[in-house]
Chains A and B, each alone.
Chain A
Amino acid sequence: MKPAPFGYADPTSLSEALTVLQSEGEGAKVMAGGQSLLPLLSMRLASPTTLVDINRVPDLDVVAVSDDGVRVGALVRHATLLHHAGAAAVQPLLARATANVAHPAIRNRGTTVGSIAHADPSGEMTSVLALTGGSVTVATPEGSSAVDWADFFVGPLETSVHGPAVVTEAFFPALPARTGTAFEEVSRRKGDYAVCGAGVTVTLDESSRVVSARASYISVGLVPEVHDLTEAVSGRTVDEADWSAAGDLARTLVDPDGDLHASADYRRLLVGVLTERTLARAAQEAQNR
């Protein structure tokens, strides 16, 4: 349970980080919080030749809140985002989801952007990036560019970013008006990986009728997806809407895998239950926004 030998560099600027990533080649791996990467190294599921630790790169620990949304730098810890009132006011899913990320000691060290770049289907923040229609900024020796969430996630633990690159920030767009959110997980132990989780948004019109209901699930499927459940509840008022019908629809849209902890059928059942519960809560909230 010890990592295989590797070389270590802790650059003090982004350009230096990119230079060392380029010179070290394919075996080099970026490390931010390391809370997912170090277990992989210790279990020798990964054995990079060089770790490029970006913790000393300045200006990456910034949460920038504007009316458009929230920009989260690559060194912002989950714990910081969880307690950031300004970020929660613009996009409530950030605090709601980070509260479900592991335990306090892990959240103190793990980064939100790192967990997105890790692209684990059981990660909360990958799904939140998808549900909010967010993007990431990828810096390469050629310059920086924004990559939409849908073009970023390729498969489990795999993104479209290859070669020398650092994901420097994630952008979560602001929650639209008359929209409520909810986030809930079922896990075997508080803070464990979710057996199944759901993040949802519900948008109402001026007469409190549902115009949009969307969901994204945790530990379901290979990459984050956003499911439009509007047709099950469209045009209904918050009190009339049959949220269980939306749950039924969701169950037909997902394709979960089974594993040691839950069969595919059980996960599908949880998708229905969590969808019904979270949509009802989000709709109540939307009335007050």
Chain B
Amino acid sequence: MSVSTERTISVTVNGVSRETTVPVRRLLSDALRHDLQLTGTHVGCEHGVCGACTVLVDGTPVRSCLVLAVQVDGKAVTTVEGLARDDGRGGEVLHPVQEAFRECHALQCGFCTPGFLMTMAAGLEARDRTTDITEDEVDEIVGGNLCRCTGYANIKKACRHAAGLMKDGDGA
């Protein structure tokens, strides 16, 4: 068993195969931003408290500051840059959670927004979409992310709105 200090990893990021060589101590958050130039993922606390750096690994939301880049070798990562869908005419269609954030004015400075969007998109896609969302569900979905501007009221409103947009298989 070899112990390495540097590795070349292959990752599918937002549907695109990427290869990069990283020191093994590189956090996934830094690999996305520095090595792959995907700066949509924001880095707040760097110890798993704020949720700003949340991305999807194989479809599951995780804190990218609490995962090493070498650990996603061979996996699929989705960042906020990959949330909107191709509209087939050379443009993009916002994901329902992005649409809901715009509609409900759920961001101010925008620093925490990528993390909220990724967490919320995964949370809303995983729930039973035939039912109306409950306040407990909303709290569970947004509870792990910090926002210092909004006071959360509009973020929770956006979560309810997006749940409505995604009901019965609408949206993403």
Q: Is B131's CB within 8 Å of the partner chain A?
A: no
In the complex the two chains form, what is the Cα distance from A28 to B143 in whole Å?
A: 34
Q: In the complex, how many angstroms separate the beta carbon of A28 from the nearest chain B beta carbon?
A: 9
A interface size (C-beta, 8 A): 36
Q: Is B119's CB within 8 Å of the partner chain A?
A: yes
Given contact pairs A19-B1, A42-B47, A6 touches B24 in the complex (Cβ within 8 A): yes
Q: Is B51's CB within 8 Å of the partner chain A?
A: yes
Q: Is A257's CB within 8 Å of the partner chain B?
A: no
Q: Is the CB of A2 within 8 A of B27?
A: yes
Q: Is the CB of B144 within 8 A of A53?
A: no
CB contact between A108 and one of B3, B23, B48, B60 (< 8 Å): that residue:
B60
Q: B114 contacts which chain A residues (CB < 8 A)? A: none
CB contact between A8 and one of B7, B51, B61 (< 8 Å): that residue:
B7
Q: Is the CB of B61 within 8 A of A105?
A: yes
CB contact between B1 and one of A20, A103, A109 (< 8 Å): that residue:
A20
If over half of B's interface residues share one DSSP class (helix, strand or loop), that class is named, otherwise mixed; here it is mixed
Q: Is B104's CB within 8 Å of the partner chain A?
A: no
In the complex the two chains form, what is the Cα distance from A230 to B41 in whole Å?
A: 52
In the complex the two chains form, what is the Cα distance from A2 to B23 in whole Å?
A: 12
Residue of B nearest to A40 (CB): B47
CB contact between A7 and one of B24, B119, B144 (< 8 Å): that residue:
B24
In the complex the two chains form, what is the Cα distance from A10 to B71 in whole Å?
A: 9
Q: Is A106's CB within 8 Å of the partner chain B?
A: yes
In the complex the two chains form, what is the Cα distance from A5 to B5 in whole Å?
A: 8
Q: B61 contacts which chain A residues (CB < 8 A)? A: 104-105, 108
A-B contacts besides A2-B25, A5-B5, A105-B51, 14 pairs, CB < 8 Å: A6-B25, A8-B24, A8-B25, A9-B2, A9-B3, A20-B3, A41-B25, A53-B68, A53-B70, A104-B140, A105-B62, A105-B63, A190-B139, A191-B144
